[in-house]
Amino acid sequence: MTEKSFFAGFGGQGIISMGQIWVYCAMKEGRNVTFFPFYGAEKRGGIARASVIISDEEIASPLVTTPDSALVMNSASLPLCEKALKQGGLMLINSSLVKERPARRDITVATVEATGIAEKLATGGGSGGKAANMVALGAMAKLTSALRLTDIEVVLRNFFPPDKHKFVAMNVEAIQSGFNAV
C-alpha cells in the first residue's frame, strides 16, 4: 500500500505539524515515509503545504506531483489541490472554511467541519479551533485507510514537548471526532 497525500492551508492551521504527525504515525506502524513541507515566509496567514508519502514499499522519490488524496483547509488551496489530485483521487474539504466545491467530477469529494468540530471541543476547555488539523487528520486517516492510529497518544506525547502534554487528550479527542465525522 502506498498513499501519496497533499495537505494545504494557511500558516497557523497546523498543516506542517499535521504532516509530521501523519508520518510519525506511519513510522510507528512500521511504514516507510517521506515528508516535504512548504510554507511562506509569513509567521501566520501565508501558504502552508505538506506532501507526504507513506508506503509498505521503499519510496523512490519524496515528491508528490499527483497525490492520491488532498486535504483542503482553506479556500485559497482548493484550485491547487483540484489541479494536482489524480483522477479518481480523494479530496477532503474543511467545510467550515471552504464553501466552494471542485468542478472536477472524476474525483471523490468528502467534507468535514474540521474548524467547527474543533471549536465545539474547545468549549470544554480547549484552545479554540486550533485542533482543526487534528480533526482533519482523523478524517483523512479514516477516508484513506492509510493509518490505523492505534498508538496516536504515544505519537503525540513524543511529538509535543512536555509542557504541551496537557493538550494531548484534547488532540486525541479531536482526531477521534474527525474519524467519526466522516
Q: What is the pLDDT of residues 125-177, one digit of tens each?
A: 555 578 999 999 999 999 999 999 999 999 999 999 999 999 999 999 999 99
Write the CB contacts of 91 (distance below 8 Å, at least 6 apart in sequence): 69, 70, 71, 72, 81, 82, 85, 102, 107, 108, 109, 110
Tens digits of residue pLDDT in 24-34: 999 999 999 99
- Would you say residue 41 has pLDDT above 80? no
pLDDT, mean over the chain = 93
Over residues 11-28, mean pLDDT: 94
DSSP 29-61: TT-EEEEEEEE-SSSSSSEEEEEEEEESS--S-
pLDDT at residue 46, as a whole number? 81
Taken in order of first residue, the domains within the chain and their CATH numbers are 2-112+141-156 (3.40.920.10)
pTM for this model (two decimals): 0.93
**Collapsed DSSP state (helix, strand, coil) of residue 104:** coil
- Would you say residue 124 has pLDDT above 70? no
What is the spatial distance between Cα 14 and Cα 135, in angstroms, rounded to a whole number?
Answer: 11
Structure letter (DSSP) for residue 144 = H
Lowest mean pLDDT among 12-16, 21-25, 49-53: 12-16
